[in-house]
Structure 1
Amino acid sequence: MAVFITGGARSGKSGFAEAYAAKLSERGIYIATAQAWDEEMKERRAHHRLERERSGYVWQTVEEPLALAELLVFLETEHRSAAGRPAVLVDCMTLWLTNWMLRTDQAAEGQESNASAELEAEIGKLLAAVTAYSGPLLLVTNEVGSGIVPAYPLGRRFRDEAGRLNRKLAALCSEAYLVVAGIPLDLKKHAFAFEVD
């Protein structure tokens, strides 16, 4: 069962995801996709890890900024037949996307078509891994399309790629939530559906 959770910065989406994971399983695997490029980010990651440890819920934290698809395939194989499978929480998809965009852009050195093709291949691998994952899987992402249009090309490209990734993931997941001001809204329950003739 895959669950898509989106919202703005500090909306409460990660807290909701952690609470939901605790309802789905007695233990969890927290996949952190952030990379610590500076001291502030290192402190932030350490603070979040400490908060998870103090929550009373058993979390195993795995830091994986890039090989998320491969990790999900491994966890599916590792836990497929296990009783009491852990809830797997990925936080967050937009940081994973950022990591890949920066990596592919640097590797392609100005050849946008190569960078786009490599990014598309990684997204395809991720979508296949999410589709194949049979245990409780919670995917946290940022809603980035509600703000102003970024003033620079990479920002606009990120916004577009994040929007496309979020749509694809939400379509694959059996549940989708938008968290606003700490309140989770069930998107699939309230989704408009065209009548079929």
Structure 2
Amino acid sequence: MNRIILVTGGARSGKSTFAERLLQKLAPQGGAYVATAEAHDDEMRERIRLHQAEREASGYAWLTANCPLQLPEWVKEADESAVLIDCLTLWLSNELLHAEQELGEGPEMEQRLYARIDDMLDALTAAQGTIVMVTNEVGSGVVPAYKLGRIFRDAAGRLNQRIAARADEVYLVTAGIPIEIKSRMVQL
């Protein structure tokens, strides 16, 4: 049996901290931390370093896996009973940029991106144990000025909707305050 939990919110909302604490509570014996970020510049390297230092200082038994592109494959193969994925939108942006490099900006690229979203949902369906996933809420801001940004925003929104539909619990974190929202969902 698996338990899927989605944690969403805006940038710097506290969602990663909440997700880490939630997994620590649900699986006090330890868990896997699946990092999807890639360090392309000094600022991102420093962010990653700070996240790593915070996890290390927590005293929790984290097993860290770096998975910027092959996330669905990692989830399918994993035998850990408690997993935190941080974050889905970084993974999706990695997939988008990889598809753009291979296929150019066009319908084939978008088809590849949505196929990878399907792969992720299939992996979650087959997974066992508890999986907590962090994602960014990207659809509440301005419409991106560039086509690639709009493709990403739309794909992230669809990814979040599909995973939230599959999830057992969904939390929105804003200003450091987590609110469980799935149980309050209106059924029409």
Is this a same-fold pair by TM over 0.5? yes
Which letter does structure 1 place at the counterpart of 2:170? Answer: A
Question: How many angstroms does 1:109 deviate by?
Answer: 2.3
Task: Give the alignment partner of residue 97 of structure 2, picking from 96, 102, 113.
Answer: 102
Equivalent residue in structure 2 for 1:113, among 107, 123, 145: 107
Deviation readout 1:83-126 (Å, 9 max, x if unpaired): xx3x200000000000010011111124x121112112211111
Deviates more, 1:167-176 or 1:40-49: 40-49
Per the alignment, residue 62 of structure 1 pairs with 65
Secondary structure of the corresponding residue to residue 129 of structure 2? coil
Q: Could you tell me which amino acid in structure 1 is paired with residue 153 of structure 2?
A: R
1:4 aligns with 2:27: no
2:25 corresponds to 1:28: no
Deviation at 1:55, TM superposition (A): 0.6
Q: 3-state DSSP class of the match of 2:12? A: coil
- The aligned counterpart of 2:87 is 92
User: Residue 64 of structure 2 aligns to which amino acid in structure 1?
Assistant: T
After the TM superposition, which parts of structure 1 deviate over 2 Å for at least 4 consecutive aligned residues? none
* Structure 1 residue 30, shift from structure 2 partner: 0.5
TM-score by length of 1: 0.91
Aligned-partner SS, 1:147 = coil
Q: Measure, in 2, the Cα distance between the counterparts of 1:185 and 1:106.
A: 38
Distance in 2 (alpha carbons) for counterparts of 1:175 and 1:49: 26
CA RMSD of aligned residues (A): 1.0
Please give the alpha-carbon distance, in whole angstroms, between the structure 1 residues aligned to 2:132 and 2:141: 25
Q: Any stretches of 5+ residues in structure 2 without a counterpart?
A: none
TM-score by length of 2: 0.95
Which runs of 5 or more residues in structure 1 are unaligned?
A: 80-84
C-alpha distance in 2 between matches for 1:40 and 1:107: 27
Q: Distance in 2 between matches of 1:48 and 1:73?
A: 25
Letter of the 1:74 counterpart: E
- Kept after mapping to 1: 8 A contact 2:32/2:62: yes
Q: Percent identity?
A: 50
2:126 maps to a residue whose letter is A
* 2:167 equivalent among 166, 173, 179: 173
- How far does the alpha carbon of each residue in 1:50-91 deviate from its partner, in whole angstroms, 9 at most, with x for none? 11000111111111100001101111xx34xxxxx3x20000
1:137 to 106, 125, 131: 131
- Give the C-alpha shift of residue 189 in structure 1: 1.5
In the alignment of these two chains, the number of paired residues is 185
**Distance in 2 of aligned mates of 1:93 and 1:49:** 18
